[in-house]
Structure 1
Amino acid sequence: MNPVCEPEAQQQGFILTRQQSDGADGIDFTFWLQQNNGAVSVTVTGQEAILFVFDRDAEAIKQLLQPYAGWRLIDLDLKDLEQQSVHGLYCRSLQTLRQITDLLNKHHIPMIEEDIRPVDRYLMERFIQGGVKVVRSHQGVQLKPSEYEPRLKMLSLDIETTMQADRVFSIGLYGGGISRVLIIGDGQDEPWLRYLPDERALLSAFVSEVTAFDPDIFIGWNVVGFDFRVLYERSKRLEISLKLGRDNSTVQVIQSAQGKWFCRIAGRVVLDGIDTLKGATFQFESFSLEYVANQLLERGKLLGHQSDNGFGNGLNKGEEIQQVYRDNPRQLAEYNLEDCRLVWDIFAKAQLLHYLVERSNLTGLALDKVGGSAAAFDNQYLPRLHRKGYVAPVYASGDSDLGAPGGFVMDSRPGLYKQVLVLDFKSLYPSIIRTFIVDPFALAEGTGTDCDPDDLVPGFNRGIFSRKSTILPGIIERLWQARDRAKAEQNKPLSQAIKIIMNSFYGVLGSNVCRFFDQRLSGSITLRGHEILNRTRDKIEQEFGYTVIYGDTDSVFVWLGDDFPEPQAAAEGAKLARFLNRWWVEELQQRFSLPCYLELEYETHYRRFLMPTMRHSEKGTKKRYAGIRLHSDATEETVFKGLETVRSDWTLLARRVQRELYQLIFTDQPYVEYIKQVVADLKSGKLDHELVYRKRLRRPLEQYIKQQPPHVQAAHKACDTLQKQGKLGRISAGMHIEYLITVNGPEPLQFASSPINYQHYLDRQLAPVVDTILVFLGQDFESLCAPQFKLF
């Protein structure tokens, strides 16, 4: 019986992990797939790796490779984007591939697409994204694309250790159906708590728990760079095999040349909460677990609430953990388990796993791929480009001397306004790519072939694009339609994934570390954006007489006038958007005979709006403003963009005063007495708790030689004090330093003993945030508070 006809000959699943290795008859690709009844391993054997070289180098390559076996050089009907013909260089093993690429690099022979992993190319060229269908026949195993919705099993992991991480105290595990802490000690076991006699037994029990639970996904907070790294190092030291792979293989934790840690487990994916949140474009003042949990879940950790660096109040977190473990191990276990729950709940609240699955289905990126915008672009673009008869350029070899500025930011008109509208171009850069056919393939056809002039669209930086030969606009159109469906279905993770992917396309074309970098492409996007914003501003001012006070990348801020009736502002915004959308359709048809995919939306109505000046200047700022946003349901929201209240390097005092003072002024309430009371409270010491600076050490303390900024001075003083007390003063890069400015300079919060320098806080914290808005009311901080200043 033909096996392809048997029901078991085909199976579906979702790709968890992918691996490549040299086999007996070529390169083997091993994929672990999640299926409804568990996970299965599938291996595709006898494959080759491929890269491309120019025809002109073919003879020299043949001579160089004569001593090597397992390769073949084939003349292909392909060319690069500069119309240069290429050969395909095929290798039968990964070892041969490495040897050949090293040799060609040594002889400065250019290669194309040599950096693409063969296992990734196998999936990419078959348009396989997340879901896959396995077809088995007498010819072997083949994978094909398939739509498959996985039901992934997550396990949240957290460990507690000594301060030097040279011993593991406990391991917390939390997920659907499991809530358990393994801890070294001699207490009484409970359903959620298991005591082990030593660290060897702890690690062995951890492996047993993982094997029994059989997760698809591990999640945690810095779970690769800390938890798995420590577990891996301790297992090696104790000569215990951490056999966490689904094939009973050992976990591998490695560090890249750039210092990034990676964790590889056959059939299981490890996701770090910090990287995943950042990849999904979440933004927080701090990405500590305590801070993010409080922001998303409105609850935090059970220990160490105040500080993550040891200079908050009393013991630092590391010392506190050591003490709790000595005095009350069960309390440490509760803390350990709650950290696991926090990470689990953050993933659930932010729908992070759903987002990653949708991203994988759209782009083919592995679930644990951090960033990956260039790889996502390659996965969608390269197979389509190959089918058009082209290969990619030599890496980042496009035109780079033409100048391609970033997003356009208009000079602002500073002032304190009423009735300001924001009009926003929906996904402006993807819209420009789609409308003006900004596309590497269209550029190659438009500049390198004999096209009818009527079939060409002019860009910027000498870019000329073919109307008929395109790839990227079609990809954007499909993504755009998918996002519209996702919005209609209220699928926020999918909508967010598509938005991030579309917005990354400009970055891929405009970054000199990306394959398709070319300033004819990036300039044709950003410079077109400049033109669109300028012409939109001019049209608003000419047709309606309103003043555009600011513009930033894809938005214009329109001042209707302080006397414009507030209830009519939203309708006026919608009217402006409709008019401008019609005008752009007519304009592009008349100038270029192009359909218009630009879409301007009325986004926001600020009933009060502040556009500040630059400090010590009358010029307006950029990317800094504040205002009261009026929503369609008549609710209000005070918005701060780029100002001190949203910057973590300013004190709580400055941030609070800015919020409260602006609210008073925006709502026409008295504010002079408020300012005077703040100054009086500052002088009396009532606000000392709001005067703490908090800043991160960007590099090791000993590397700050030429300059010693305040937080570095405070860190040195903390080390000195700790040493005098006989304690180990461990301060490393990445730590936040909390300090006060005293009459004797910066002092660490925990050890501050000198009187606070209140004049510093008046001059450097209160005056700047107050004067930013008072200047438009004809007043200033010093004159309002002059009598109190004399007291200092």
Structure 2
Amino acid sequence: MTTGSGIAKLIVTGERPVFFVMDEDYIRLSACLSKAGLTHECRAVALETFHHEPVRAVYTPTLEVGFKAQDRLRKLGVTLFEADIRLHERYLMERFITGGIAFTGWAVRQRGYTEYHDVKVRPAEVSSPFSVLSLDVECSMDGELYSVGLAGETVERVLMIGSPVFGHSPGLSEGTILWVENERSLLKALEEEIEQLDPDILIGWNVVNFDCRLLLERARVHGFRLCLGRGKQPASWRERRGESGVGFVTVPGRVVIDGIDALKSATYQFADFTLETVSQSLLGRGKATEEVDNRLAAITHDFHHDKHKLARYNLEDCRLVLDIFCQTRLLDFLRLRSQLTGLELDRMGGSVAAFTHLYLPRLHRAGYVAPNLPDDGGLASPGGYVMDSKPGLYNNVLVLDFKSLYPSIIRTFKIDPLGLVEGLKQPEQAIPGYRGAVFSRQSHFLPAIITSLWQQRDEAKQQQDSARSQAIKILMNSFYGVLGSGGCRFYDTRLASSITLRGHAIMQQTAGWIEAEGYQVIYGDTDSLFVRLADHFSPEEAGCIGKALVMDINQRWHDALQEEFQLDSYLELEFETHYIRFLMPTIRGAETGSKKRYAGLKWTSAGEQLVFKGLESVRSDWTPLARQFQVQLFERVFADQSPADLVKETVRQTLAGERDSELVYRKRLRRPLSQYVRSSPPHVRAARQADECNRAAGKMLRYQNKGWISYIITVNGPEAVEHRVSPIDYQHYIDKQLKPVAEVVLPFAGEGFAQLWDEQLSLF
């Protein structure tokens, strides 16, 4: 771990693996383990199951003995509780330790760190800075190493195989390139560089499953283990069960964080997560090219003919990753998430683990052991409320949004695993939920946890601390999903249903109150209501109505919950958006209003803003032609201008070949190409066609193992952009791209695509 006085390794002794069994299994358990010669201690504890059955704790001297004991007991039919909690995780969570640790112990100086023995720990607020090093590997198509780039706050270095090339090279300082003789020398030089620079964190782009994995594989080829850890400890990579080529890396004393996984964990979204796309989006700069075939060929060419150019390319990849982490404050986000939940910095996802870390020690102190995962994988619970929409083209639509609706329901109605168990003991005094659930008014933990997080998030917003605010938001919103997941030990359909069905009731009641005031609710979705006002209101008047409505509704909920349940309301309706113009379309081919699809012209203090939800302009699987066409159509309709000329001109340009550059589809191959057996959608057929061309030309096959493909629909079917030989099927783009987009909005403008298309066709 990183401390203010250097790197520390804590040696904890005396901790024993433990799991729990029901008291009634004690006699046959002891007989079974004693007969097998497995040393154990079975101790009575003041804990019981959620069904109020007393349990005993079973301690073993080592992890190995513990695993053997668990296997024996399962075969005997003994139910085990918390047997899957890892020893080090239990040690930390039972002491309420999340991100920071204060410790005492006697010190022994080791190479590169200090080792502490007889350690005692407690939670602490810690803000030690991390040293970060960005790593990027360049290699041949066969995985043979060419160079390794390293970049940090004070260092830029490229380890390059080859003889020194003298002379000035733009973009490279003197001494930036460290020349080595061969691949083995490169790996050994990397070990020395990592030891000397001694980073806390290694970052990169796909750094775990490509860079680290490749480096470790190449070291094995040369007959040694690559020592990148502190104290020259070897790194290791292991494959994730059931996922070929995807795994975890361990570098003792350091953390390896992949930029792609970290951005996804922080809920960033991009058209794709290539370094080029993300860096262009966030930084406004990127690689010279992201065309894989050319890039790999260029890397090989530069390694043999222009090593300075390859070094610049290698180093720029490192810089891009560093700048992305800096721009997005990813490490701040991950540090805060760790402080809130106890998750390791490199642990992505992990909502269930985070909930367990927070909840389990509190549960033990209340006298219960945690239940096991549901045998049936968890029954489905109702989803969020989605109201049938009222299609139409409107003026003045307000969006009223409940702030963190599900967390506020948990706070208000005391929804909690322990609360359910305790509430069922005295249902007449409890708070009613759904599907037979009742919740204790006094015994619960989750409402208090959410209250604390809520307050911290409000503080973060006031301080404009976006990283902290985002980390807290993601954590709070994960609690409903955790309680409704069969992968969580605290899953109970009564818990999840008491959240979502209460949400349904709240949304319906709120809509009723709003309509009683003379306004029309045209749509509702999970936590948002869309309210239509009269056409004549100005933006200022609409804003005043929105603010008055939320004040009235919040007071109504305060009064209603006090009267019916004697509960304080934490429900908070907010005035979120005012749309000057708003269109709620119909489902294609029907008169019924659609759901989760709309467009609006939003009023803001900075001016008007066009917003699309669920329509083609925000979907990456539609062509640029369709997306641009939709934006232009809505601009015309919202401005009360006829769209007829735009439709005719777009059709004309398309048929004339003037928009060919906008006809490209781009789609991801989510499985290896060979696994598409039962169906061959267009992007799969295009990928197969492209790789047949690559094979015939003696080039590398690009699309065999997932990836993205860009293709065009031709008269002979889909063809990859780089291998198109057939004429474009323009009728396809009229029928499948322009027509569906136009039919969303044209009926509300008194026009029809078929009529306009016929008029345009008559000109050809």
TM-score range, shorter chain: over 0.9
Structure 2 residue 615 is matched with structure 1 residue 643: yes
Structure 1 stretch 702-711 or stretch 582-591: which is displaced more?
702-711
Aligned residue among 334, 355, 358 for 2:312: 334
> Contact conserved, 2:673 with 2:706, CA < 8 A, in 1?
no
SS of equivalent residue, structure 2 residue 230: coil
> Contact conserved, 1:398 with 1:519, CA < 8 A, in 2?
no
Q: CA deviation at 1:783?
A: 1.2
What per-residue deviation string (whole Å, max 9, x for no partner) do you get for residues 667-714 of structure 1? 234432222221121112111111111111121212222211111111
Aligned to 2:484: 510
Q: CA deviation at 1:553?
A: 0.8
Q: CA deviation at 1:634?
A: 4.1
What is the distance in 2 between the residues matched to 1:664 and 1:327?
A: 55
What is the distance in 1 between the residues matched to 2:90 and 2:710?
A: 49
What is the distance in 1 between the residues matched to 2:65 and 2:409?
A: 43
What is the distance in 2 between the residues matched to 1:748 and 1:107?
A: 59
Q: CA deviation at 1:399?
A: 10
Aligned to 1:210: 194
Aligned residue among 166, 172, 181 for 2:149: 172
What is the distance in 2 between the residues matched to 1:672 and 1:591?
A: 56
Structure 2 residue 2 is matched with structure 1 residue 34: yes
What is the distance in 1 between the residues matched to 2:45 and 2:377?
A: 26
What per-residue deviation string (whole Å, max 9, x for no partner) do you get for residues 275-299 of structure 1? 1111111111211111111111111
> Contact conserved, 1:134 with 1:142, CA < 8 A, in 2?
yes
Aligned to 1:192: 176
Distance 1:397 1:561, change over 3 A: farther
> Contact conserved, 2:200 with 2:255, CA < 8 A, in 1?
yes
- Please, which runs of 5 or more residues in structure 1 have no aligned partner? 1-32
What is the distance in 2 between the residues matched to 1:483 and 1:100?
A: 45
> Quick one: which amino acid aligns to residue 363 of structure 2?
L
> Quick one: which amino acid aligns to residue 630 of structure 2?
Q
What per-residue deviation string (whole Å, max 9, x for no partner) do you get for residues 10-37 of structure 1? xxxxxxxxxxxxxxxxxxxxxxx20123
Structure 1 residue runs of 4 or more that deviate by more than 6 Å after TM superposition: none
* Pairwise CA RMSD: 1.7
Aligned residue among 308, 313, 324 for 2:302: 324
Q: CA deviation at 1:227?
A: 0.4
> Contact conserved, 2:33 with 2:39, CA < 8 A, in 1?
no
Distance 1:530 1:188, change over 3 A: same
What is the distance in 1 between the residues matched to 2:617 and 2:138?
A: 35
> Quick one: which amino acid aligns to residue 85 of structure 1?
P
> Quick one: which amino acid aligns to residue 597 of structure 1?
Y
> Quick one: which amino acid aligns to residue 690 of structure 2?
A
Distance 1:785 1:730, change over 3 A: closer
Aligned residue among 245, 249, 254 for 2:229: 245
SS of equivalent residue, structure 1 residue 699: strand
What is the distance in 2 between the residues matched to 1:679 and 1:561?
A: 37
SS of equivalent residue, structure 2 residue 13: strand
What is the distance in 2 between the residues matched to 1:244 and 1:400?
A: 42
Aligned to 1:376: 354
Alignment of 1:488-503 (within 5 A): 488-503=462-477
Across the two proteins, how many residue pairs are aligned to each other?
A: 745
Structure 2 residue 81 is matched with structure 1 residue 103: no
Q: CA deviation at 1:400?
A: 5.1
Aligned residue among 357, 378, 394 for 2:335: 357
Structure 2 residue 540 is matched with structure 1 residue 567: yes
What is the distance in 2 between the residues matched to 1:589 and 1:356?
A: 39
Aligned residue among 390, 414, 428 for 1:437: 414
What is the distance in 2 between the residues matched to 1:237 and 1:789?
A: 65
Q: CA deviation at 1:639?
A: 1.1
Q: CA deviation at 1:481?
A: 1.3
Aligned to 1:578: 551
What is the distance in 2 between the residues matched to 1:399 and 1:155?
A: 41
What is the distance in 2 between the residues matched to 1:696 and 1:339?
A: 23
What is the distance in 1 between the residues matched to 2:376 and 2:18?
A: 22
> Contact conserved, 1:397 with 1:518, CA < 8 A, in 2?
no
> Quick one: which amino acid aligns to residue 284 of structure 2?
E
Alignment of 1:404-415 (within 5 A): 404-415=381-392
Structure 2 residue 2 is matched with structure 1 residue 71: no
Q: CA deviation at 1:657?
A: 1.1
Structure 2 residue 30 is matched with structure 1 residue 62: yes
Q: CA deviation at 1:213?
A: 0.6
Structure 1 stretch 36-45 or stretch 531-540: which is displaced more?
36-45
What is the distance in 1 between the residues matched to 2:697 and 2:22?
A: 68
Distance 1:591 1:562, change over 3 A: same
Aligned to 1:759: 731
SS of equivalent residue, structure 1 residue 532: helix
> Contact conserved, 1:430 with 1:502, CA < 8 A, in 2?
yes
TM value normalised by structure 2: 0.95
> Contact conserved, 1:509 with 1:517, CA < 8 A, in 2?
yes
SS of equivalent residue, structure 1 residue 65: helix
Distance 1:498 1:550, change over 3 A: same
What is the distance in 2 between the residues matched to 1:398 and 1:436?
A: 28
Structure 2 residue 390 is matched with structure 1 residue 390: no
Aligned to 1:457: 431
> Contact conserved, 2:434 with 2:498, CA < 8 A, in 1?
yes
Q: CA deviation at 1:405?
A: 0.5
Aligned to 2:220: 236
> Contact conserved, 2:164 with 2:179, CA < 8 A, in 1?
yes
Aligned residue among 149, 160, 166 for 1:183: 160
Aligned to 1:737: 709
> Contact conserved, 1:399 with 1:519, CA < 8 A, in 2?
no
Q: CA deviation at 1:52?
A: 1.2
Q: CA deviation at 1:397?
A: 5.8
What per-residue deviation string (whole Å, max 9, x for no partner) do you get for residues 346-367 of structure 1? 1111110001111111111111
Structure 2 residue 749 is matched with structure 1 residue 749: no
Aligned residue among 90, 98, 112 for 1:121: 90
Q: CA deviation at 1:731?
A: 2.0
Q: CA deviation at 1:380?
A: 1.0
> Contact conserved, 2:669 with 2:708, CA < 8 A, in 1?
yes
What is the distance in 2 between the residues matched to 1:164 and 1:767?
A: 46
What is the distance in 1 between the residues matched to 2:615 and 2:753?
A: 18
What is the distance in 2 between the residues matched to 1:695 and 1:773?
A: 26
Q: CA deviation at 1:659?
A: 1.6
> Contact conserved, 2:377 with 2:486, CA < 8 A, in 1?
no
Distance 1:473 1:519, change over 3 A: same
Structure 2 residue 445 is matched with structure 1 residue 471: yes
What is the distance in 1 between the residues matched to 2:67 and 2:467?
A: 39
> Quick one: which amino acid aligns to residue 203 of structure 1?
L
What is the distance in 1 between the residues matched to 2:205 and 2:282?
A: 15
What is the distance in 1 between the residues matched to 2:541 and 2:587?
A: 32
Structure 2 residue 235 is matched with structure 1 residue 256: no
Structure 2 residue 592 is matched with structure 1 residue 608: no
SS of equivalent residue, structure 1 residue 557: strand
> Quick one: which amino acid aligns to residue 322 of structure 2?
W
Q: CA deviation at 1:70?
A: 3.0
Distance 1:728 1:487, change over 3 A: closer
> Contact conserved, 2:433 with 2:439, CA < 8 A, in 1?
yes
SS of equivalent residue, structure 2 residue 625: helix
Aligned residue among 130, 134, 143 for 2:121: 143
> Contact conserved, 1:613 with 1:621, CA < 8 A, in 2?
yes
